[in-house]
């Protein structure tokens, strides 16, 4: 259980980070295959150990967060995500579930391409476009009406004889390959960072604060479903939805067919092999039960419809030569091998580098420089080498030697399980990565302060560590090339806005190893102040709920290392103020009490009751132990109820628990 708990927390942190970068920052960290593997492992742990499942688990979340930069727009009904299948067998399992829940009736399907873009909803009232929004977290999206209005293929006014009073349509905004290439050439010539792929370019273009920038980029869109429509009872199928949208002048998905699972298999094979001939990216098919009556009968989970699934294409791959291997130092000091490849076109993208993850992977693959290797590119992010290809070519092969010294500072590397780590806090590479993280949205979120600016400031000798950021003046910035007066003001204002931050944000932005966003909030919520945290022992940190030995060791070591202590003091001396972490409580009725909720409740869900516990000063636990103060038991309580009785833990009914909090179940 402890091992599963630790791994579960790691996966939650990892998936939250991946989601944040993919949905909110438009900068994916891993390919789809790696993300899907992590998500499947998380789901497997939740199935084996249901008590470990947390509220807002990544397995239940739809999309990303809603940026405060834009106004929020509610989605009615919510915009759900799709479940995935990856093989013919899994597709058959999907159909078997549909047939079973439709009492043996075999449905027909709408079979559509899965566009790799940004999901949006557009609302028309009295035939006029009134609001457009991103999917956001599924319940609320970001208001991007002004930007969407610049997309030429989206009508501002509906056409046709029967204009509905209200219509919300859902689809995918994307950028074609030709426009993507043009935009990246333009950015490269202007010294700007290029976009990783068309999906990121489309998302970044749609989230511009200036609609004129969006208008300059030729975005396109296909719509494929209706959220709400006046007279919806007259619509009977997905096929009719497409007909209605076409009649109103709304661009609909291309290459749609209606048929059986057998037809879907043929459709899949055709587009898997010909997708590179399209001017836009697709990463699979979407298969939907056609009739809305059957869709309603099958229903949905909180995250995905049971009547639809995405059948993902396999990762794109090719064979090329491994020419050399570089060592890359990350923020936590881990040294990662990165392969330099003979450039090769994979799925329309020229690939020159690929990740090897670690040196244990190099040994497992048995590869050497000069070898022919198979490279996959899935999700259009950093490609990876998956195998060595046997060949008879007379090419000189060289062993890939695991380094013993840091490639950046030449310090001795420390072996740590499968990784090599540089533990020199003054290492230039680590400092650079820490600076990048500190200013990022995942850190302190200092706007207009990206990696390129950090490099320029370092070269000018103005910034060597995080604390130096708080010493910058406008005249320092104006001394840099390509720095205008307005941008300099914005950067200084953004730094000033981050001179006062809650303890949890401060901890998160420091990038302490093993202590990500969630655990930073947990630790800050317990300790309240920086002064209290700095005096805590490892044992006291471990006593904090959810904080394990590795996290405690990392946090303790950070605040007791000479270099990092000096860094924190330097930040405080330069005007950084760490605000006491405040947690608003409804009451302290359950202060210092640990409660476990189990079984089926009637008035509230278990998650709602666990929130009530936290709101009233208590702690909701997933397992019963001698330290449990109360077990709240609903119907079918099972083994937890028996264990509570065996340990003599007081048992409360749902009504008794609510009465303890002064809540009447009849209200």
In a domain, 224, yes or no: yes
* Tokens coding 126: 């009295």
> What pLDDT does 666 receive?
46
| CATH, residue 407 | 2.40.50.140
- Identify whether residues 215 and 292 lie together within a single domain: yes
- Identify whether residues 234 and 86 lie together within a single domain: yes
**Dihedral, CA of residue 253, residue 258, residue 260 and residue 262, to nearest 10:** -60
In a domain, 549, yes or no: yes
> What pLDDT does 380 receive?
46
**Is residue 65 scored above 70 in pLDDT?**
no
> What pLDDT does 311 receive?
94
| CATH, residue 471 | 1.10.150.20
Residues acting as catalytic residues: 114
Domain hosting 24: range is 2-52
Sequence-distant (6+) residues with CB within 8 A of 27 are 21, 196, 200
- Identify whether residues 124 and 201 lie together within a single domain: yes
* Tokens coding 271: 């587009």
Mean pLDDT of 512-517: 79
In a domain, 407, yes or no: yes
Whole-model pTM over 0.75? no
Taking only the tens place, the pLDDT of each residue in 108-121 is 999 999 998 889 99
- Show the CA angle centred on residue 225, arms to residues 224 and 227, nearest 5°: 150
* Tokens coding 665: 């179940």
- Identify whether residues 369 and 303 lie together within a single domain: no
In a domain, 203, yes or no: yes
Residue finishing a domain among 312, 345, 360: 312
In a domain, 23, yes or no: yes
Taking only the tens place, the pLDDT of each residue in 619-632 is 777 778 888 899 99
Taking only the tens place, the pLDDT of each residue in 16-55 is 877 776 665 556 666 666 677 788 888 889 888 888 888 7
3-state secondary structure of 151: coil
* Tokens coding 286: 């979407």
In a domain, 465, yes or no: yes
Taking only the tens place, the pLDDT of each residue in 554-568 is 899 999 988 888 999
**Contact status, residue 379 vs residue 32, Cβ threshold 8 Å:** yes
**Contact status, residue 413 vs residue 421, Cβ threshold 8 Å:** yes
Taking only the tens place, the pLDDT of each residue in 560-614 is 988 888 999 999 999 999 988 765 556 678 877 888 888 877 777 777 788 788 7
201: confidence class by pLDDT, cuts 50, 70, 90: confident
Q: Which of 50, 47, 51, 43 is nearest to 12 (CA)?
A: 43
> What pLDDT does 407 receive?
93
- Identify whether residues 136 and 269 lie together within a single domain: yes
- Identify whether residues 330 and 296 lie together within a single domain: no
> What pLDDT does 667 receive?
37
In a domain, 58, yes or no: no
Tell me the CB-side half-sphere exposure of residue 558, using CA atoms within 13 A: 21
Give the Cα separation of 198 and 177 in Å (integer). Answer: 7
- Identify whether residues 408 and 548 lie together within a single domain: no
* Tokens coding 269: 């094979």
| CATH, residue 46 | 1.10.287.610
Report which DSSP code applies to 384: E
| CATH, residue 128 | 3.30.470.30
Number of compact structural domains in the chain: 5
- Identify whether residues 365 and 401 lie together within a single domain: yes
- Identify whether residues 618 and 575 lie together within a single domain: no
Sequence-distant (6+) residues with CB within 8 A of 134 are 118, 119, 120, 141, 142, 144, 206, 207
In a domain, 585, yes or no: no
Residue finishing a domain among 419, 446, 469: 419
Q: What is the CA radius of gyration of the chain?
A: 27
- Identify whether residues 477 and 616 lie together within a single domain: no
- Identify whether residues 439 and 538 lie together within a single domain: yes
Give the Cα separation of 523 and 554 in Å (integer). Answer: 12
| CATH, residue 627 | 3.40.50.10190
- Identify whether residues 161 and 265 lie together within a single domain: yes
**Is residue 106 scored above 90 in pLDDT?**
yes
Residue finishing a domain among 255, 280, 312: 312
């Amino acid at each position: 259980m402890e091992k599963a708990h630790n791994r579960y927390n790691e996966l939650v942190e990892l998936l939250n980070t991946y989601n944040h970068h993919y949905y909110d920052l438009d900068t994916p960290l891993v390919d789809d295959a790696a993300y899907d593997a992590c998500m499947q492992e998380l789901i497997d742990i939740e199935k084996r150990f249901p008590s470990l499942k947390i509220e807002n688990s990544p397995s239940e979340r739809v999309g990303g967060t809603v940026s405060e930069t834009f106004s929020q727009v509610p989605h009615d009904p919510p915009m759900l995500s799709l479940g995935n299948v990856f093989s013919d067998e899994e597709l058959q399992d999907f159909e078997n579930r549909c047939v079973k829940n439709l009492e043996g009736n075999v449905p027909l399907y709408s079979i559509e391409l899965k566009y790799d873009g940004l999901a949006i909803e557009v609302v028309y009232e009295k035939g006029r476009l009134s609001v457009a929004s991103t999917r956001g977290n599924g319940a609320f999206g970001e208001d991007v009406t002004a930007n969407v209005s610049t997309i030429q293929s989206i009508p501002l006014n509906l056409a046709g004889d029967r204009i509905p009073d209200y219509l919300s349509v859902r689809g995918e905004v994307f950028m074609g390959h030709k426009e993507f290439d043009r935009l990246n050439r333009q950015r490269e010539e202007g010294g700007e960072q290029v976009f990783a792929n068309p999906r990121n370019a489309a998302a970044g273009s749609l989230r511009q604060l200036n609609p004129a920038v969006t208008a300059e980029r030729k975005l396109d869109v296909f719509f494929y479903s209706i959220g709400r429509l006046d007279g919806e009872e007259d619509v009977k199928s997905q096929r009719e939805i497409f007909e209605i949208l076409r009649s109103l002048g709304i661009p609909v998905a291309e290459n749609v067919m209606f048929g059986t699972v057998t037809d879907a298999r043929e459709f899949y094979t055709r587009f898997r092999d010909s997708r590179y001939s399209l001017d836009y990216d697709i990463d699979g098919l979407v298969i939907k039960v056609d009739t809305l009556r059957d869709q309603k009968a099958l229903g949905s989970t909180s995250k995905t419809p049971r009547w639809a699934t995405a059948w993902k294409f396999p990762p794109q791959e090719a064979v090329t030569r491994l020419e050399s291997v570089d060592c890359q130092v990350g923020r936590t000091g881990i040294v990662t091998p990165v392969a330099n490849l003979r450039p090769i076109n994979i799925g329309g993208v020229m690939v020159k580098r690929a990740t090897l993850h670690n040196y244990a992977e190099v040994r497992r693959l048995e590869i050497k420089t000069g070898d022919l290797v198979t490279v996959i590119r899935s999700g259009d992010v950093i490609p990876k080498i998956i195998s060595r290809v046997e060949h008879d070519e007379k090419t000189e092969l060289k062993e890939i030697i695991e380094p013993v010294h840091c490639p950046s500072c030449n310090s001795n590397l420390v072996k740590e399980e499968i990784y090599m780590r540089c533990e020199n806090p003054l290492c230039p590479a680590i400092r650079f990565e820490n600076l990048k993280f500190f200013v990022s949205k995942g850190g302190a979120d200092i706007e207009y302060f990206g990696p390129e600016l950090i490099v320029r400031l370092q070269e000018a000798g103005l910034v060597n560590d995080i604390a130096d950021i708080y010493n910058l003046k406008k005249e320092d910035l104006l001394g840099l090339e390509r720095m205008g007066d307005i941008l300099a003001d914005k950067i200084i204002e953004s730094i000033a806005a981050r001179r006062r931050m809650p303890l949890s944000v401060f901890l998160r932005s420091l990038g302490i190893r093993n202590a990500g966003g969630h655990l930073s909030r947990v630790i800050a919520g317990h300790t309240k102040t920086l002064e209290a945290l700095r005096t805590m022992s490892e044992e006291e940190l471990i006593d904090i709920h959810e904080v394990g030995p590795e996290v405690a060791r990392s946090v303790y070591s950070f605040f007791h290392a000479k270099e990092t202590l000096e860094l924190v003091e330097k930040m405080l001396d330069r005007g950084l103020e760490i605000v006491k972490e405040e947690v608003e409580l409804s009451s302290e009725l359950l202060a210092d009490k640990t409660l476990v909720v189990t079984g089926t409740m009637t008035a509230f869900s278990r998650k709602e009751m666990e929130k009530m516990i936290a709101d009233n000063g208590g702690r909701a636990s997933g397992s019963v132990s001698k330290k449990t103060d109360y077990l709240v038991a609903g119907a079918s309580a099972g083994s937890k109820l028996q264990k509570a009785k065996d340990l003599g833990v007081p048992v409360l009914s749902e009504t008794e628990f609510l009465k303890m909090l002064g809540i009447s179940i009849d209200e």
